[in-house]
Structure 1
Amino acid sequence: MAGTAAATSSDVAVRKKNRNRSPFYQGWKRFKKHRLAVVGLAWVVLFFIAGIIGPWVAPYDYRIGDFLAINQGPSWTHIFGTDNVGHDMFSQILYSIRSALIVAVGATLVSFVIGVVLGLWAGLRGGLADAIIMRGVDFMMTLPGFLFALILVVLLGRGYWSLILAIGIPGWAGYARLVRSLVLGMRNGEMVEAARALGASQAHIARRYMLPNVTGSMAVSLAFGIPGDLAQIAGLSIFGMGLQPPIPSFGNMLAQAGDNILGFPWLLYFPAGIFAITLLAFLFVADGLQEAFNPKGGH
């Protein structure tokens, strides 16, 4: 019995030691030291929760306005006030969070998937494939991303999928360049050369050796990419090319508030404040991830 207990205790100690050596565990320890990143992560989690449950907890339907409560200031009935057609601003913001997350996360994933696939392909294959992909990267990097997205919205329309593609397609170049540079640094490593000698396919090498080693850098890029796409969504809405009303969005609310800021400032303060805090929170998280996964790399 004593021997069994000692063996069990030894196994637990080994598992704990292995966990402590895990790069993700070490990264989490470094991340927790970045207080603003932890605060930002808490806000981002709250933002996602609000986006998921918002339609079920919103006190009013975003499509229905109360014409007897037009442009009312914050009160117990409408804690963020109402707009010029009697929409409850708190409910509008909850629905706007959901819309923003659908488009921003969807667009970021489109950019990410295209960029990672092309970056891996360019880095592993080299030669003509690398040259063609990198010329495409150079071309996309010279184009104003917002203008390109604006043109695509005009061509595709103003629905969810249209905006996801319009914002996501122009954004792949940065991910592709980063992944390619990381792959080039690992392509001639001992483990990769050994896998090639054993006849491993390029897909196996990419899945087994490349992707796990670029996870940290990709997490940082995603954390920076989502707030960038959030800002683009708001910009498109301000130009009248965002989600089609009556679907609420932060850009639509900010555009409307600009015409009424002197008489009804709450129309600007609440959506602009929440939107600005959210962008900062994502940037704090990205900064914390960068320090966690690349502690010596800095900015």
Structure 2
Amino acid sequence: MASSAVIKKSDAVVKKRTFHRSPFYQGWKRFKNHKLAVIGMVWVVLFLIAGIIGPYVAPYDYRSGDFLAINQGPSWQHIFGTDNVGHDMFSQILYSVRSALIIAFGATVVSFVIGIILGLWAGLRGGIADMIIMRAVDFMMTLPGFLFALILVILLGRGYTSLILAIGIPGWAGYARLIRSLVLGMRDGEMVEAARALGASQAHIARRYMLPNVIGSMGVALAFGIPGDLTQIAGLSIFGMGLQPPIPSFGNMIAQASDNILGFPWLLYFPAGIFALTLLAFLFVADGLQEAFSPKGGN
């Protein structure tokens, strides 16, 4: 019994030491030393929580307006004021957070899935497949992403699914190029060559050897991609091609408030300020992840 307890304790110590030496743990230690990244992470978490529970805790429904409280400044009843039809701005922002998260994360997933599939295929197969995919990447990179998204919205409509596809489809090229470059650096490694010699399929090699080694770099790319998608969502709304009113969105509120900024500045300051802070928070997190998982990062 005593020897069994000693063995279990020894195994626990070994596991703890192994975890502390793992790339994830070392990366997390470096990330925690990046103060702005930690502050950004706190804001991002609060933003995510607001997007999940916001519509359930919003004091007013986004469709209901109080015509007796039009263009009122911040007060105890409406802490962010009201707009020109009596909508509570705080409630509008909570609903806008959910809309932004649904579209931004959906578009990022679409871009990432297309990019990772084509990037892995190009890097592993090489030859004609690599040439065709990389020419497609070059073509997509030369197109203005926002203009392409605007055209797709005109063709597909202004719903959630349409906006996710319109923003996500043009964004795959950057992910594909990054993944291909990472795969090329590992394609001729000893582990991959040994797996090929044992008859492993390309799918098995990609899943077993390639994907685990590109997760860190792809996490950084995703963290940089989300604020870009958020900016495109707002840009489409400002051009009148975002979500159909009365569904709230940051772009719609900013566009509508810009005409009344002198008389009712809170209509612009609150949504624009929260949106700008969110973009900065995601960028700080991405920068922290880049430093944490960079091969040149400190210990």
With structure 2 as the length reference, what TM-score do the two structures score?
0.98
Aligned twin of 2:206: 206
State how far apart, in whole Å, the 1-side matches of 2:187 and 2:79 are.
Answer: 57
Aligned twin of 2:88: 88
> Is the aligned partner of 1:153 residue 2:153?
yes
Aligned twin of 1:13: 13
Tell me the alpha carbon deviations over residues 54-84 of structure 1, each in whole angstroms, 9 at most, x when there is no partner. Answer: 1100000000100000000000000000000
State how far apart, in whole Å, the 1-side matches of 2:286 and 2:132 are.
Answer: 31
Matched residue type, 1:163: L
State how far apart, in whole Å, the 2-side matches of 1:9 and 1:134 are.
Answer: 52
User: Percent of counterpart pairs with the same letter?
Assistant: 86
> Is the aligned partner of 1:66 residue 2:66?
yes
Instruction: Report the secondary structure of 2:260's partner residue.
Output: coil
User: Structure 1: which 5+ residue stretches go unaligned?
Assistant: none
Deviation at 1:295, TM superposition (A): 4.6
Matched residue type, 2:22: S
Instruction: Report the secondary structure of 1:77's partner residue.
Output: coil
Deviation at 1:245, TM superposition (A): 0.3
Say which is worse superposed, 7-16 or 258-267, in terms of deviation.
7-16
Tell me the alpha carbon deviations over residues 169-220 of structure 1, each in whole angstroms, 9 at most, x when there is no partner. Answer: 0000000000000000000000000000000000000000000000000000
Deviation at 1:3, TM superposition (A): 3.2
Deviation at 1:4, TM superposition (A): 3.6
Matched residue type, 1:109: V
State how far apart, in whole Å, the 1-side matches of 2:203 and 2:184 are.
Answer: 16
Deviation at 1:10, TM superposition (A): 1.3
State how far apart, in whole Å, the 2-side matches of 1:72 and 1:208 are.
Answer: 59
State how far apart, in whole Å, the 2-side matches of 1:227 and 1:33 are.
Answer: 23
State how far apart, in whole Å, the 2-side matches of 1:86 and 1:44 are.
Answer: 29
Instruction: Report the secondary structure of 1:235's partner residue.
Output: helix
Aligned twin of 2:278: 278
Tell me the alpha carbon deviations over residues 225-261 of structure 1, each in whole angstroms, 9 at most, x when there is no partner. Answer: 0000000000000000000000000000000110000
Say which is worse superposed, 5-14 or 175-184, in terms of deviation.
5-14
State how far apart, in whole Å, the 2-side matches of 1:284 and 1:179 are.
Answer: 23
Moved over 4 A (4+): none
Matched residue type, 2:71: N
Aligned twin of 2:237: 237
Instruction: Report the secondary structure of 2:245's partner residue.
Output: coil
Aligned twin of 1:170: 170
State how far apart, in whole Å, the 2-side matches of 1:140 and 1:112 are.
Answer: 15
State how far apart, in whole Å, the 1-side matches of 2:51 and 2:43 are.
Answer: 12
Tell me the alpha carbon deviations over residues 93-118 of structure 1, each in whole angstroms, 9 at most, x when there is no partner. Answer: 00000000000000010000000000
Aligned length: 298
State how far apart, in whole Å, the 2-side matches of 1:295 and 1:255 are.
Answer: 43
Matched residue type, 2:6: A
State how far apart, in whole Å, the 2-side matches of 1:13 and 1:109 are.
Answer: 38
State how far apart, in whole Å, the 1-side matches of 2:201 and 2:246 are.
Answer: 51
Aligned twin of 1:125: 125
Aligned twin of 1:228: 228
Deviation at 1:35, TM superposition (A): 0.8
Instruction: Report the secondary structure of 2:267's partner residue.
Output: helix
Matched residue type, 1:173: A
State how far apart, in whole Å, the 2-side matches of 1:55 and 1:280 are.
Answer: 24
State how far apart, in whole Å, the 1-side matches of 2:177 and 2:297 are.
Answer: 17
Alignment RMSD (CA, Å): 1.1
With structure 1 as the length reference, what TM-score do the two structures score?
0.98
Matched residue type, 2:141: M
Aligned twin of 2:293: 293
